[in-house]
Amino acid sequence: MSRNRALLERALERGEEDGGNVEFKERLLQSVHLEGGRRESLAAQLRHRVLSGDGEATYVVGVTDDGGLAGIDADTFSESMDVLSLLAEEAECHIADVQTWGVNEGIVGIAKIQEGAVLETDDQHVVVGTAGHVDHGKSTLVGSLVTGQADDGDGATRAFLDVQPHEVERGLSADLSYAVYGFDEDGPVHVRNPNRKQDRAEVVEAADRLVSFVDTVGHEPWLRTTIRGLVGQKLDYGLLTIAADDGPTRTTREHLGVLLATDLPTIVAITKTDLVDDDRIDELVLEVERLLREVGKSPLRVSRHGVEAAIEEIGDTVVPIVETSAMTMAGLDVLDELFDRLPKTARGEGAFRMYVDRSYSVTGVGAVASGTVMRGAVEAGDDLLLGPMADGTFREVEVRSIEMHYHRVDRAKAGRIVGIALKGVKETEVERGMVLLPADTDPSPVREFEAEVMVLNHPTRIGDGYEPVVHLETIGEAARFTPENGRLLPGDSGRTRVRFKFRSYLVEEGQKFVFREGRSKGVGTVTEVYPADQ
């Protein structure tokens, strides 16, 4: 619900004029306003309003022709936005923003219409998962990258990434990606203020290539959130930060283990180099190189071997190391070049699938499921299945609309971080770990599966009845382990049966997961699944 009521009052004060760009509509219904010749007529009217406003029009919905505040119910408002989106598309325009207010137990909303088709999402879009110990400069580094601004030493650019719980109330967009910037033929396309949705939407629209950052949490108590951010998204690369004045910590090693266990090509950024001398930097690089070799990786110091070598060799075995400072901006040009040129690695062939990471309700829109499209593509109007629900069934739903970085789109494909408004389900019924997939599929919920696992850290042995939390895609659920030979020791690899403790999920062979209980951690790969009815 928008608090900027002055915007509504200004629009009502301006009113409708023959040569103006403001239009009042009480409601727009598919059965009325899209039938016969009305669709073409209304699209022409919308085009006229946009041209009168030099490429932008304002539609006030939920008011009478004379500007009276009528208010309409949530379902009618949502349908009105669907109709308006179709009219805008007919007029080669798009809905850039929607704000709503409660009036007379109903809704009044303002839709900003802009010239040009909706964002085309076929451009390259690289998604980077960030990790690192608290206070190691992860968020500050990302903030400086996306804004092109040096930090002031007090975390000014980090503040751009401090996402608060109330942000889910601001609109439809999925805010899993806390930062985005891009590139065009002239170089980086920075965002002026990542906290302003319009600024971020402008970058998405203007850039030829996008880089999204899925920011994670560095505090040890929040490792579960970090694992969810790294395992539950369709990531292309990992970015691990290590502060020059501190060096690798236990959390650093844990985050590195999760990144590498999920086969994610990773870059190590040594941050805060302005706080230490050159000898300390060289000493730390040697320490990081030893750490990487311990886990079977080959370090590549970019300052010595060059960006070309990093681009050519990053992958299963090679981990580039870049020295940076958000204060002096040293090394950020190297990261810019890497993110501009590195190929997209995540592949999403096959039928549409998206695991739900968050859900919330937007006034006038309804239930919204946000997450990363794992494979395939989804379009507004698609019929989907959502589930499994608590009883193991899947619910039929319809895609009302899709947004990416506050920009409304008609289609989203694999790798996109999106918010999908759903018709046919209440927000309270949508839970993290559920999946969206095409309505013509026949999914089977899974309660148990077999897996190959490796124990990264455990104080004693893992035996029958061990119950860690399993993180698979966006699923985070307690599960019971039954090792094949009765036990697993630290450093061991072996087979185990895994049974979710409370409910079933959609699980497939080949999916990777992380398990954790206290300081015990390990990784695994699903090798065989057992449908819930077996």
Q: What is the CATH number of the domain that holds 474?
A: 2.40.30.10
Q: What is the pLDDT of residue 2?
A: 42
- Lookup: tokens for 173: 């967009």
Residue 118, pLDDT score: 56
Q: What pLDDT is stored for residue 96 in this prediction?
A: 72
| Strand blocks (E) in 62-135 | 93-103, 106-115, 124-132
> Both 236 and 328 in a single domain?
yes
- Whether residue 386 sits in one domain with residue 247: no
Burial class of residue 393 (count of CB atoms within 10 Å of its CB; 0-12, 13-18, 19+): exposed
State residue 226's pLDDT score: 40
Q: pLDDT value at position 111?
A: 86
Q: CB of 422 within 8 A of CB of 386?
A: yes
Count the helices and strands in the chain (H runs, E runs): 12, 30
CB-CB contact of 269 with 324 (8 Å): yes
Most confident of 169-173, 356-360, 517-521: 356-360
Please tell me the predicted confidence (pLDDT) of residue 1: 38
Shared domain for 434 and 450, answered yes or no, is no
- The lowest-confidence range among 127-131, 132-136, 343-347, 413-417 is 343-347
| Residue 348: inside a domain | no
21 with 140, same domain?
Answer: no
Is a pLDDT exceeding 50 seen at residue 218? no
The closest alpha carbon to 180, from 156, 163, 162, 161, belongs to 161
Q: How far apart are the first and last CA of the chain?
A: 46
- Which of 201-215, 272-286, 439-453 is predicted with the least confidence, judged by mean pLDDT? 201-215
Average the pLDDT over 250-258 and give the result: 78
* Beta carbons within 8 Å of 195's beta carbon, 6+ residues apart: 160
* Tokens coding 205: 């629209």
pLDDT given at position 195: 63
- pLDDT mean over 145-159: 74
Tokens 């880089």 belong to residue? 211
Residue 148 and residue 95 in one domain: no
Query: Per-residue confidence at 170, pLDDT binned at 50, 70, 90?
Result: very low
> Which of 141-145, 230-234, 275-279 bottoms out in mean pLDDT, i.e. has the lowest?
230-234
Are the CB atoms for 410 and 402 separated by under 8 Å?
yes
- Report if residue 311 sits inside a domain: yes
Indicate if 304 and 215 belong to the same structural domain.
yes
For residue range 386-419, what is the model confidence (pLDDT) as tens digits?
A: 999 999 999 999 998 888 766 677 888 887 778 8
Q: Do 70 and 26 touch, CB atoms closer than 8 A?
A: yes
Q: What is the distance between the alpha carbons of residues 7 and 11, in angstroms, rounded to a whole number?
A: 6
For residue range 352-362, what is the model confidence (pLDDT) as tens digits? 999 998 888 77
Q: Report which of 227, 326, 229 is spatially closest to residue 270, judged by C-alpha positions.
A: 326
Do 87 and 24 share a domain, yes or no? yes
Q: Cβ neighbours of residue 229 under 8 Å, at least 6 residues apart?
A: 129, 176, 214, 215, 216, 217
**Tally of domains within the chain:** 4
- DSSP designation for 223: H
Query: Which residue range is the domain that position 480 belongs to?
Result: 446-531
Same domain flag for 159 and 96: no
Query: In this structure, are 308 and 248 located in the same domain?
Result: yes
Instruction: Taking residues 45-57, report their average pLDDT.
Output: 90
Domain containing 317 — which CATH number?
3.40.50.300
277 confidence band (pLDDT: 50, 70, 90): very high
Residues 455-505 have pLDDT tens digits of 766 556 778 888 988 988 889 899 999 998 888 776 667 899 999 999 999
Residues 181-201 have a mean pLDDT of 81
Confidence of residue 153 (pLDDT cuts 50, 70, 90): confident
Q: Given 76, 94, 115, which residue is the final one in a domain?
A: 115
- Same domain? For 42 and 105 the reply is yes
- 455 and 488 share a domain? yes
Domain-located, residue 347: no
End position of a domain, from candidates 62, 80, 115: 115
| 58 and 138 belong to one structural domain | no
Among residues 396, 415, 438, which one ends one of the domains? 438
